[in-house]
Structure 1
Amino acid sequence: MLTEVPQAISEAIKIAPVDPQYYGPDDDRVTRFVDQTIDTWSNAEPELAGGLNQLKDLLTPLEQEALTFYLASTAFAIADAAPPLEKPQQEIKERATGVTLFKNLTSGEIESERDAFRTTWQTVYPENLSFAATATFTRETVLSQPEIPDLDAKLAQLKADFAAEMQTWKDAGKTPEMRDMLSMKLKLESKYPNLKDYMFDLTIGDVDLVSNPVEPEYSDVPERMGFTGEKLWRIDQRAKEYQRLLRRAGVNITGYQPIPLGWNALITRGLDYLGHYGMNGYQNEGCFMDYGGSYAMDRAFLLAKRTLSEEGVTSPTALFPTPGFMMMKDVAENTGLKTMELVTKPEDHFLPTPDKLKEILLAHPEIKILVLTPINNPGSHVAEAERIKQILDMLEGEQQFKDIIVINDLAYLGTGDKDQNTQLGKTLNQRRRRIDVLAWTKLLGRPGLRCATAGTPDPEIAKWVKPVARNVTLAISYPMQAETLAVLDFVKLEDMERLYQLYRHRQEKMIETLKLRPDLFDIYHALVTTWDAALYAFVPLANGVDPLDIMPQTGLFGTSARAFYASVFPDIPNYIRFALGKQPITEQTIDRMRKMMS
């Protein structure tokens, strides 16, 4: 007799899958299929039926639904791990697996969901498929590299080749973009394979937690984020489970979709994350998902453009504060929007001031879309809630600005101080006429997992979400959605926060190391930005230092500030951005950086 919820059941509910497509009673095929499956098993297995009935008095309806989904999908996953039997035998195997799993979850002798899962697996496959007795999720420490003969002379030659490459760009009057820097790095690594560890990959804002061991004090991060160990395996299995459930419920997962808005479960996960930071009130019909931040921003621009067009604004302009990720400006222009830049200053933490913003809006009444990146790339700073409030109050206080649509690019929401993020989110939430775009890529450490959620609380914008969706794409990949939802089933907010701590740790270590060369890096400059978020360090250079001279003198591959402006301005600050998602900043790394900087 169960008198309290077993720990293993609580853990199973926490990671349970959901109905990915549930939009209401008219579209609940997966839920109905799962319920019917568990009912069939219960009718054939009185012990299962009795145990589930006992739990009804201990669980909420939502928890009961989660347990039902967990039992069905996990039993299918285990039973389907071997080649399928004839249908009647396969159904018996699935039911027996579900019953065994439930017994293990509720036995009282097995304390965790993980152990219940393992025990069930080993019961079904006692000889052929089994787990290791213990699991270790941290990566092994890389052995020390052999000593390199004549290292100083070889590093000097490497620096000379660096300088020659940079001089070629200088002579051409070209500012190399990130891919140019990566190509040069590969070229030099090919020429100097023994010196790869003295060339530091800090150019592109990628994240890689598996190619190199992370810092020892953060060795738990790869497994927590689902890149290694048993969690990686469970995520892969769960992604397959989602597709299996949809197929069994009669959903054509390879066909076109009438209204390609994305799975409701994924949209809900995004809204839950936004809500954690005080952003809410989104219209039910005003939300969608797309392929990463760039595609979601593209759809947001089209949505803003359609809304304004229906209101009589036929040729709106979008305003982008810079420095910023200029690809988004290109994305806007590809939708037919005109664009303008608003150059911000270091002393303002590269954020627009209300006065300067008001000045440009009055001078250019055609500006009807304002793009804000309140946690900025490259600036790496959580915008002060008070500054954002001043901006939004100014927009609300002027009649001619009330129709401006604010598009918030929230690619780094949550990185940095938790309270600052919450205050920022609550402040952004005060403007109703907005579209929020939340890309999962950097938050989950998976830039290649192209998935983003977007939504608006404004019903006048929301009513155009479906018409725009029909003109954007015919379908959104089910495998991509299944993988993202699987990751979010197992990677929880506390895991993401641990990743953000790693980003912050690297910022601090990087800035401390750069202080070794005050002739190059003006770390103590009075106008320096505050590095407290995202995964970058946007660093001021000493007077007269060319960003292209940094690589030859330090081996640090970074990106010049000029890459974050679409136009050439006379007062572009002399900064360089270092991206910290790929290069571990271990003590060994710091020693090599010091060697290259000497």
Structure 2
Amino acid sequence: TYLWLRNQMLECERLLLAENFDLRIYDILAIGNPILRSWLAREMQSWGLSVTTDQVYLGLGAMDCINKVLCGLSQVYREQDVSEFAILFPEPGFAVPEWQARSYGYRLHHIHTLPENHFKLTASELDEALANDPSIRIIYLTVTNNPTTFAYSPEELNALHAVLRKHRDKGREVLILADLAYIGTGKPEEDRARMASFTPVDVLQHYIFVSSFSKTCTLTGERFGWVTTGHAPLAAAIAPGWSNSMASLPAEWQLRFMAYMHLMHERPWLGEKLRSFYRLRRQRFIAQLQAIDQKKHLFEHIFIDDDATVYNWSELRPGEDAFSLFEKTGIAGVPGSGFGYTDNYVRFSIGVIPVPEVHLTIS
């Protein structure tokens, strides 16, 4: 496979040179080569999103993409003489974008989501937050959530869109930074239904999507990411987030990115194999936690996921935390406070070490 990838990289470089694009010289815009971006635009079009190559920018993984978007938007707001701009983060959630936003001068607005809502932002919570905080300009939304493993349904997404539409009709502009890192780890038909909720033009043009091959293709070290902006003028406006951060994206990295895209297209069965692998890992791990709990009584609630992501999110019994859990079981997890929540919750990664089969029914 590695030799195949190397040969594909050579072919991709020839293809670029034939289009007079030389990766070995400065690309001052630093958004990536147009052929790869056109391929990724087609990927997004396959979800039903009406976007073009000009609306797709490359990044060194999802975290770099989010950082560049927040950088670009902060410059947009300053040029508009906006004195205060806030970003809404539902919690629990991935914490790194919060640190990135703070470094660019955003004020953070947190919403503590509830277990009965599967830790998802509801339409009423969003409506109340927008009504009470006129500085909110961006909502960070992980469509399939890390750490909770729960995913927004099309109905829940459409309810959020209705709230945003109501506020737009009153002259309020709010953008959604949608993290799609785990779209592709769940059931394809359910992911397609979620993505279909973004296709109406009046919804799409207010979205910025961040995508990555890290989880969907288990390529965490390769750092293959991209941003898709739903409105072409907005893509142009945030471009300084790229040109101000690097003089050019790495040449070999772009070629390897292109080669891996060829690999995934030529061997589509790899995607289903990875989804099945993740499902097996999650189910075995949950069964293992249930077996441990029968003996040690550590958990208040072992949550069953929405058949997506590479994690498990569970609630511990009073008096337990991630450290006592590790002491008693040898299983390491991340405390809920690492995701802006409470430490009676813990997130586990399903990892790659084999989990023994446990004959329990997951309920």
Do they superpose with TM above 0.5? yes
Number of residue pairs aligned between Structure 1 and Structure 2? 350
2:260 alignment partner in structure 1: 487
Match of 1:515 in 2: 290
Q: What displacement does 1:378 show?
A: 0.5
Counterpart mapping for 1:541-580 below 5 A: 541-565=316-340, 572=342, 574-580=344-350
Change in CA separation of 1:387 and 1:393 when aligned onto 2, cut-off 3 Å: same
Q: C-alpha displacement at 1:351, in angstroms?
A: 0.9
Q: Secondary structure at the match of 1:473?
A: coil
Aligned AA (1:574): N
Q: Does 1:371 align with 2:140?
A: yes
SS at match of 1:411: coil
8 Å CA contact retained: 1:304, 1:461: no
Whole-angstrom CA distance in 2 between matches of 1:423 and 1:573: 34
Question: Which letter does structure 1 place at the counterpart of 2:209?
Answer: D
For 1:237 and 1:557, locate their aligned partners in 2 and report how far apart those are by CA, in whole Å. 41
Q: Counterpart of 2:305 in structure 1: which amino acid?
A: T
Q: Equivalent of 1:356, from 108, 125, 130?
A: 125
Aligned pairs for 1:335-414 (under 5 A) are 335-398=104-167, 399-400=169-170, 402-414=172-184
Cα deviation digits, residues 425-482 of structure 1 (max 9, x gap) = 1113341211111112112211111121112122331231444432222100010111
Alpha-carbon distance between aligned partners in 1 of 2:135 and 2:117, rounded to the nearest angstrom: 25
Contact 1:515 1:523 (8 Å CA) reproduced = no
> Counterparts of 1:129-278 in structure 2 under 5 Å?
231-243=1-13, 252-278=22-48
1:232 offset after TM fit, Å? 3.1
Question: Structure 1 residue aligned with 2:308, among 527, 530, 533?
Answer: 533
| Alpha-carbon distance, 1:352 to partner | 0.6
Output one character per residue of 1:114-160: Cα deviation in whole Å (capped at 9) or x when no partner.
Answer: xxxxxxxxxxxxxxxxxxxxxxxxxxxxxxxxxxxxxxxxxxxxxxx
| 1:488-545 alpha-carbon deviations (Å, 9 max, x no partner) | 1012343123212211111111111111133012346xxx463421110111222332
Q: Does 1:327 align with 2:96?
A: yes
Relative to structure 1, the CA distance from residue 362 to residue 269 in structure 2 (aligned partners, 3 Å threshold; closer, same or farther) is same
* TM-score, length of structure 2 as denominator length: 0.88
Letter in 2 for 1:557: A
Q: Which amino acid aligns with 1:530?
A: D
Matched, 1:440 2:213: yes
2-structure distance, mates of 1:552, 1:447: 29
Counterpart Cα distance in 2 of 1:486 and 1:283: 21
Amino acid in structure 2 at the alignment position of 1:266: L
CA offsets 1:571-598 (integer angstroms, 9 cap, x no match): x3622111124323354xx69xxxxxxx
- Does the 8 Å contact 2:69/2:241 carry over to 1? no
Distance change in 2, residues 1:251/1:446 (3 Å): same
Q: Is the 8 A contact 1:385 1:423 kept in 2?
A: yes
The answer as to whether partners of 1:369 and 1:404 remain within 8 angstroms in 2 is yes
Instruction: Name the Cα RMSD after superposition.
Output: 2.4
1:298–1:386 CA distance, 2 compared to 1 (3 A): same
| Residue pair 2:45, 2:51 contacting (<8 A) in 1 also | no
Q: What are the Cα deviations for residues 232-269 of structure 1, in whole angstroms up to 9, with x where unaligned?
A: 32113322443466568875433221321112232233
Provide, for residues 71-117 of structure 1, a one-character-per-residue CA deviation record: whole Å limited to 9, x for no partner: xxxxxxxxxxxxxxxxxxxxxxxxxxxxxxxxxxxxxxxxxxxxxxx
Aligned to 2:222: 449
- The answer to whether the 8 Å contact 1:531/1:537 transfers is no
| 2-structure distance, mates of 1:381, 1:351 | 8
Between the aligned partners of 2:50 and 2:326, the Cα distance in structure 1 is 47
Q: TM-score, normalised by structure 1?
A: 0.55
2:190 alignment partner, one of 410, 420, 433: 420
CA–CA distance in structure 2, aligned partners of residues 461 and 248 of structure 1: 30
SS in 1 for 2:144: coil
State the distance in 2 between where 1:393 and 1:434 align: 14
Whole-Å separation in 2 of the counterparts to 1:401 and 1:557: 48
Partners of 1:329 and 1:319 in 2: CA distance: 9
- Kindly indicate whether the alpha-carbon contact (under 8 Å) linking 1:353 and 1:387 is maintained by their aligned counterparts in 2: yes
Q: Secondary structure at the match of 1:266?
A: helix
Q: Which amino acid aligns with 1:288?
A: Y
Paired with 2:67 and 2:154, the residues of 1 have a C-alpha distance of 27
What is the DSSP-based 3-state SS (H/G/I as helix, E as strand, rest coil) of the residue aligned with 2:269?
Answer: helix
Distance 2:277 2:320 in 1: 30
Q: What SS is found at the alignment partner of 1:379? A: coil
Instruction: State the secondary structure of the residue aligned to 1:435.
Output: strand
Q: Are the equivalent residues in 2 in contact too, given 1:333–1:339 (CA < 8 A)?
A: yes
The AA in structure 2 aligned to 1:542 is R
Alpha-carbon distance, 1:387 to partner: 0.8
2:292 is paired with a residue of what secondary structure? Answer: coil
User: Which has the higher relative contact order, 1 or 2, with Cα contacts under 8 A spaced 6 or more apart?
Assistant: 2
Larger Rg belongs to:
1
What's the CA shift string for 1:266-300, capped at 9, x where partnerless? 2233333333333x122543321111111111111
Alpha-carbon distance in structure 1 between the residues aligned to 2:160 and 2:134: 17
Structure 2 stretches of 5 or more lacking a match?
none
SS at match of 1:428: coil
Query: Is the 1:379–1:529 contact (alpha carbons within 8 Å) kept by the matching residues of 2?
Result: no
What amino acid is the match of 2:42?
D
Task: Extract unaligned runs of 5+ from structure 1.
Answer: 1-230, 592-598
Aligned counterparts, 1:308-319, within 5 A? 308-319=77-88
8 Å Cα contact 1:349/1:530 also seen in 2: no
Alpha carbons of structure 1 residues 530 and 310: separation in structure 2 relative to 1, 3 Å: same
